[in-house]
Amino acid sequence: MMESDYLKYAPRKNRPRKRTGLMVVAAFLLGIATAFFWVQYVPTGKHEAPSFDGLTKPIFYQGTMLEKQAEGKAETLKLPFDTVKELIDPTMIYESSSDSTIITTQDKVLRLKTSQLTGMINEKPFTLKFPMEKVNGTLYLPIDPLK
């Protein structure tokens, strides 16, 4: 019987191993990749407070933090007029002569006056929970009527 015949019929455990080195290298590389992933992406349990670039009430729009921040808290939260006009409703108008904001939709005209709890929808009064206000020269709109 020739040696090649022996390898052909020899039990698997007695066959010479040709790919052992390749398997060791592949396992080593897999171990390195796993360790790198673990270090980079697995949470540590350590809490780090976000900085938000110094903003106390940052506004995020489509995953991006905006430059201006909101005012108020919880249900009293208000958004800057310029931000709402730029990102949500470019047709909004601020009338400095009457100190009011006009927001129009397909079937409604909403008028809000600064520092007043009464607004108008289609020329009919309605009560606001929180007024539109100016803070440090910036006009802020309550979220409720914007919904």
pLDDT digits (tens, 9 = 90+) for 3-38: 555 555 555 555 555 567 778 888 889 988 888 777
Q: Are residues 34 and 61 in the same domain?
A: no
> How many Cβ atoms from other residues are within 10 Å of residue 86's Cβ?
14
pLDDT digits (tens, 9 = 90+) for 42-96: 677 788 788 888 888 999 999 999 999 999 888 889 999 999 999 989 999 999 9
Write the CA distances from 2 to 5, 11, 12, 18, integer angstroms. 5, 16, 18, 20
pLDDT value for 59: 93
141, amino acid identity: L
Q: Are residues 119 and 64 in the same domain?
A: yes
How many domains are there within the chain?
2
pLDDT-based confidence at 133, cuts 50/70/90? very high
Inside any domain, residue 47: no
What are phi and psi for residue 133, nearest 5 degrees?
Answer: -150, 160
Inside any domain, residue 46: no
Q: Are residues 77 and 136 in the same domain?
A: yes
Which domain does 74 fall in, by range? 56-146
Q: Are residues 37 and 61 in the same domain?
A: no
pLDDT value for 144: 84
